[in-house]
Amino acid sequence: MNETYTVGYMGMTQMSRKLLEVQNLSVRYPILSGTVFKRTVGHIYAVDSISFTLEEGDILGLVGESGCGKSSAARSLVKLVPAHSGSVFWKGTDILPLSFREMLPIRKEIQMIFQDPYSSLDPRMTAGSIIAEPLHIYNKRAQASMSGSEIRSRVKELMTMVGLSPHYENRYPHEFSGGQRQRIGIARALSLDPTLLVADEAVSALDVSIQAQIINLLRKLQEDFKLTYIFIAHDLAVVRYITNRVAVMYLGRIVEEGDTEELFNNPLHPYTRALLSSVPVPDPKLESKRKRIPLEGEVPSPNKLHKGCVFYERCANRMERCKNEKPYRARMTDNHKVACFLHHSRVDFSNSE
């Protein structure tokens, strides 16, 4: 049993279930040399030993600057890229060692929404065929028993669900706008009734007004179908609006994690503070009084493992120990963890990771 009891809204006790538990997950990409006979001369350390849990109904925001490993972490969770090491437990089962056939029932429960609505849809297929494709594949490989008419009915239902007219099912992707294409991608992800949706920068390629529509659609779907999300983004205003928990990544590691409002109101890691200071405030008076925290230097190369803190070279508060010691994520409160030696003296290390 992976069930725990937590205190919900209005002080009521409710039962929650741990869906996903990631332990020390690492992802590496080989650096190849040679034109004919390729050989590995090094590695890109995209994700470096990250851990987090996801409970039923959570919307976890994964944030950080470009190249920090967000997308690599997401793709490794659904086994689109191989993990180098670590474990990913789905409802208590480690899915990383599973074969393609053993993964079939789990793939039905974990689906992904991709970043670019222009390249993630096959231009040779109609909208209806794109949405129906997971149903046909699952029918064939899992020996399910949906008839052709049932699949067509399901496609119309999904298109209506995401705000598209079922009359558009025979149109091709180039006949849709960017927002409409992303709705097709969402309908495709929903076709197998998943439990977890991994949204990898699902709104970053869209205009601001269309972003709002897609975000509101995702929230409505989450409420209607009790979905759980991993929401990857670099727009912190969007993350604050849609998520209930946030994990901040820098150079492949999670440096801070906590409840969304607590983390935004009380950021502890120097990188998180700098990141949040860059978010504009719509009130001119408040904006004029805010203090920006500029970061000096460049992001270190990801082609080497860092023995100490990954933020050492750009941190204004760095200490000598930060260079050679890896700061573990220490629990500051029940819902807030930070990997920074500035705060480790304030915590009990029995609660650290």
Joined tokens for residue 167:
């009359």
Confidence of residue 35 (pLDDT cuts 50, 70, 90): confident
Q: What is the mean pLDDT of residues 332-350?
A: 77
What is the pLDDT, as a whole number, of residue 247? 96
Residue range 3-109+194-351, CATH number:
3.40.50.300
What is the pLDDT, as a whole number, of residue 352? 53
Q: Say if residue 11's pLDDT is above 70.
A: no
Q: What is the mean pLDDT of residues 136-145?
A: 72
Q: What is the rounded distance in angstroms from the CA atom of residue 202 to the CA atom of residue 242?
A: 13
What is the pLDDT, as a whole number, of residue 298? 80
What is the pLDDT, as a whole number, of residue 80? 92
φ and ψ at residue 102, rounded to 5 degrees: -65, -25
Question: pTM to 2 decimals?
Answer: 0.86
Query: pLDDT tens digits, residue range 92-131?
Result: 999 999 998 888 889 889 999 998 888 889 999 999 999 9
Query: pLDDT tens digits, residue range 275-330?
Result: 998 877 777 777 677 778 878 878 888 888 888 999 998 998 888 899 999 998 88
Q: What is the rounded distance in angstroms from the CA atom of residue 342 to the CA atom of residue 314?
A: 15
Percent of the chain exceeding pLDDT 70 equals 91
Query: Taking the domains of the chain in order of start, what are their residue ranges?
Result: 3-109+194-351
Query: pLDDT tens digits, residue range 170-206?
Result: 999 999 999 999 999 999 999 999 999 999 988 887 8
What is the pLDDT, as a whole number, of residue 9? 35
* Chain position carrying tokens 């500029």: 294
Q: What is the mean pLDDT of residues 242-256?
A: 94
Joined tokens for residue 210:
């269309």
What is the pLDDT, as a whole number, of residue 216? 92
CA 42 centroid distance within chain: 27
**Chain-wide mean pLDDT for the chain?**
87
Q: Say if residue 7's pLDDT is above 80.
A: no
Q: Say if residue 8's pLDDT is above 80.
A: no
* Cα distances (Å, whole numbers) of residue 207 to 151, 189, 212, 232, 251: 32, 22, 9, 17, 28
What is the pLDDT, as a whole number, of residue 1? 41
Q: What is the mean pLDDT of residues 42-49?
A: 92
Contacts of 277 (CB under 8 A, 6+ apart): 290, 291, 292, 293
Confidence of residue 16 (pLDDT cuts 50, 70, 90): low
